[in-house]
Amino acid sequence: GQRFPLVSVHCCPESITDNREDFERVLGNITRLVAERGTFFMSMIVQSKYWTVGAQQFPTFEIPTEHLSELLLLQGLTVMKVATAPSAPGRSYLGLVGIVAQRQ
């Protein structure tokens, strides 16, 4: 399939499932799009069981940042930078993590 020099995904894989198997499958589908020496940008919510739109709640898959780095390495990506930020008050998650990785 087609591969790209830059792939960017934000708050998606962890927000569409609450189980490890689906999360890892979706993440693998996304990372396969990164070309050789390509860059992968990802941000995700952390320490959350759900996210909300109005009063409606949607489940999330909670994954430690360290485990995410390991999964990316298994996909052939080397993590170059990890940055975190706290959530705004009253949110259903603790914060955000941003990751930059590169395929070697």
For 33-87, the pLDDT digits (tens) are 999 999 999 999 888 888 888 889 988 998 888 889 999 999 999 999 999 999 8
Q: How many domains does the chain have?
A: 1
Q: What is the CATH number of the domain that holds 78?
A: 3.40.50.150
What are the residues facing 45 on neighbouring strands?
96
This prediction has a pTM of 0.88
**Does the structure show a pLDDT above 90 at 13?**
yes
Domain of 17 in residue numbering reads as 4-103
- To 5 degrees, how large is the angle CA 25–CA 2–CA 31? 30
Q: Please enumerate, as own/partner, the contacts of 83-86 that have beta carbons within 8 Å and a separation of 24 or more.
A: 84/46
